Amino acid sequence: MIVMILETVPVSLRGELTRWLIEPHAGIFVGHVSGMVRDRLWDKCCKRLNRRGGVIQIWSTNTEQKFKMRAHGITKREIVEMEGIQLIRIPPSENENPSKKT
């Protein structure tokens, strides 16, 4: 199984991914493809991103978590690895002041 999350990408790229995956929600693609197709879709997305775009890919694999993730470009989330486990971190927004306590 594969999940791809695209943010701020050309519409043509989203249309091209629908040849291989379904799009249950705008910018979110789900499907089941081989490892070779998964890597080619990843390469295609990375090459066709605009300056503000980003992509996250999540796929099933034989690890402790049973999946792996990778990200490229500008996304609202970032992937961090801690002791071999991949986690998602939500960076503070540019408007937030981290030193200000509420």
Of 3.40.30.10, 3.30.9.90, 1.10.3720.10, 3.30.70.240, which CATH number belongs to 2-89? 3.30.70.240
Mean pLDDT, the chain, rounded, equals 91
State percent of the chain over pLDDT 70.
91
pTM for the whole structure: 0.85
Question: What average pLDDT does the segment 25-52 reach?
Answer: 95
Tens-digit pLDDT profile for residues 5-20: 999 999 999 999 999 9
Whether the pLDDT of residue 102 is over 60: the answer is no
Q: What is the pLDDT of residue 87?
A: 96
* Long-range CB contact pairs, 40-49, < 8 A, 24+: 41/2, 41/4, 41/17, 42/70, 42/72, 44/13, 44/16, 45/4, 45/6, 45/9, 45/13, 45/17, 45/72, 46/72, 46/73, 48/9, 48/10, 48/12, 48/13, 49/9, 49/13, 49/73
